[in-house]
Structure 1
Amino acid sequence: MRKKVLYSATLIGILSLLAGCTQVDQEITDESTGIWNVWFVRPLSDLLTYVAELFNENYGLSIVLVTILIRLVLLPLNVKQLKSSKAMQDIQPELQKVREKYSSKDAKTQQKLQQETMELFQKNGVNPLAGCLPVIVQMPILIAFYHAIMRTGEIKEHSFLWVQLGEPDPYYILPIIAAAATFLQQKLMMSGTTQTQNSMMPQMTMMLYMMPIMIGVFAIFFPAALSLYWVVGNIFMVLQTLFIRKPMMKDKDANTGGNK
């Protein structure tokens, strides 16, 4: 649990650092300088503009298409992360036995615990850090795309469906869909957790409700362009979970049943 808390704190730190790399309210232009602007935000802003111009300056459709494109590019990393998560779940019963065997808190016992834990990882070909790398790689890209949406001036001047992209959704439709998709995606992810992870259930349950609420509240006050991005991205993640993670968990259950 300490590792997970440290991991979450690290991600929050990275998010804060990258979010603070530049002012979100400063429009991205040819004169924008700095590695963050030149190599991350500006290319995505140019891509949004290019796709919009292909469809008669439809920036809403551009956000939808570029969001899907980015998610497709990141898909191999997500698959790797899901496989790593599944591998960790598969060895949870054995890992729990090792922890119970060395439940004492003295230094010598804890050293043996770490040694046997590493041997268990090596035996099953599990790398506990493998699930972290895909997330760390994705974070700058997704945050840069957030900046590109917020700082591309042309987006604010256009509308899409019933919303003005530079203004919040007046009917709260996008915030509701974004929150609902976030909840569904997290619910699907939780459905594959094993019984050995019951000690984590309170934290997971809290995240199940907190994340959708946060996304929904942000989407109410933020420009509709960003809400649209969250809607498309979260729906994509729901489909990814249904078509990739669910079959993986079924295979795991089938193998478990066959071993009984």
Structure 2
Amino acid sequence: MEKRSVFTFFKKYKISFLLLFVVFLAGCQGAINEPIDANSAGWFDHYFVYTFSRLIKGIAGIFNDNYGLSIIIITLIIRLALMPFLLKQTKSSMQMRERMSVIKPEIDALQKKYENKKDTASRSEMQQEMMKIYQKHNMNPLASLTGCLPMLIQFPILIAFYYAIRRTPEIATHSFLWFNLGQTDILITIIAVIVYYLQFKVSQKSMEPQMRKQMAIMGLISPIMIGFISLNAPAALPLYWAVGGIFMIVQTLIAQKLYAPVQGK
């Protein structure tokens, strides 16, 4: 029987909570297509979105108004800045998974012991014995919750950059490679969808079989959402997503190489 607590519930459904967090932030931004400027209302618009908009225009100016290159450069800078946090998260996650595999037989035996005992006293005793197992192995059951912090840190930054791209009208007046940044482009949309699907498949390599099955649907939902939004948005957005997705694939491969468990350990 699976142990239930507020912590296991949050751990299991943290993706849903974080998606709600994104929606909450997005809902605070007012009209998504209104050009951003120094007079735009709202602290998030002023300090985050407008700052990124100025940065996009500033870097584009350095490269002869190449807004596509500017978006790529800023995307890479953001991802590089966040990379240490995400690598630390991956390392902690893998270490926790490795340590949990060691104590799993004891946890399973304890849960089996209390399988048919549902009274409050028995549940309390089970929780106390569970804590003793964690203490014996020097583990903090709340440590896994800190894995959400890097995700919370990156959301305001990525959302602000997303809105800056949508609300900087100068971007729509320029082209990059084969497409106009202000118009929908099927090919760059397809590339973004494929990249996000590959990113998910790469991330699955470090998942346990059970978790892989539970997350399978996310591997389809994420690319589908990217494709749907991109087909109703300027091509600058799928360009941003494609570059970010490629970076995340490389980062995941690096993390898996660095923190892979030693065979036979």
Task: Work out whether residues 59 and 158 of structure 1, in 8 Å CA contact, stay in contact via their aligned partners in 2.
Answer: yes
Task: Work out whether residues 26 and 159 of structure 2, in 8 Å CA contact, stay in contact via their aligned partners in 1.
Answer: yes
Q: Displacement, 1:137?
A: 0.6
Q: Aligned equivalents of 2:123 and 2:28: distance in 1?
A: 42
Q: Which residue of 2 aligns with 1:108?
A: 124
**Structure number with larger C-alpha Rg:** 2
Determine whether 1:155 maps to 2:171.
yes
Per-residue Cα deviation, 1:155-190 (whole angstroms, up to 9, x for no partner): 111111121111110xx2111111111111111111
Gapped regions of structure 1 (runs ≥ 5): none
Q: Displacement, 1:95?
A: 4.2
The structure-2 alpha-carbon separation of the partners of 1:26 and 1:116, relative to structure 1 and needing over 3 Å to count, comes to farther
Gapped regions of structure 2 (runs ≥ 5): 1-7
**Further displaced range: 232-241 or 217-226:** 217-226
Q: Which residue of 2 aligns with 1:242?
A: 253
Q: Which residue of 1 aligns with 2:215?
A: 204
Task: Work out whether residues 110 and 130 of structure 2, in 8 Å CA contact, stay in contact via their aligned partners in 1.
Answer: no
Task: Work out whether residues 32 and 167 of structure 2, in 8 Å CA contact, stay in contact via their aligned partners in 1.
Answer: yes
The structure-2 alpha-carbon separation of the partners of 1:57 and 1:41, relative to structure 1 and needing over 3 Å to count, comes to same
Q: Displacement, 1:127?
A: 1.9
Q: Displacement, 1:151?
A: 0.5
TM-score (normalizing by structure 1): 0.88
Q: Paired residues, what number?
A: 249
Task: Work out whether residues 134 and 140 of structure 2, in 8 Å CA contact, stay in contact via their aligned partners in 1.
Answer: no
Q: Which residue of 2 aligns with 1:213?
A: 224
Secondary structure of residue in 2 paired with 1:91: helix
Query: How large is the Cα RMSD of the aligned pairs?
Result: 2.1
Q: Which residue of 2 aligns with 1:18?
A: 25
**Further displaced range: 240-249 or 15-24:** 240-249
Amino acid across the alignment from 1:211: S
Aligned with 1:164 (options 165, 180, 198) = 180
The structure-2 alpha-carbon separation of the partners of 1:121 and 1:140, relative to structure 1 and needing over 3 Å to count, comes to farther
Aligned with 1:181 (options 195, 204, 207) = 195
Q: Aligned equivalents of 2:148 and 2:166: distance in 1?
A: 27
Amino acid across the alignment from 2:13: L
Per-residue Cα deviation, 1:108-166 (whole angstroms, up to 9, x for no partner): 24422551464267448982122110001111100111011001111111111121111
The structure-2 alpha-carbon separation of the partners of 1:186 and 1:116, relative to structure 1 and needing over 3 Å to count, comes to farther
Q: Displacement, 1:67?
A: 0.5
Per-residue Cα deviation, 1:7-32 (whole angstroms, up to 9, x for no partner): 12320221011101112111101211
Amino acid across the alignment from 1:181: V
Q: Which residue of 1 aligns with 2:5?
A: none
Using the aligned pairs only, state the percent identity: 39
TM-score (normalizing by structure 2): 0.86
The 5 A counterparts of 1:108-147 are 108-112=124-128, 114-116=130-132, 118-119=134-135, 122-123=138-139, 127-147=143-163
**Further displaced range: 205-214 or 139-148:** 205-214
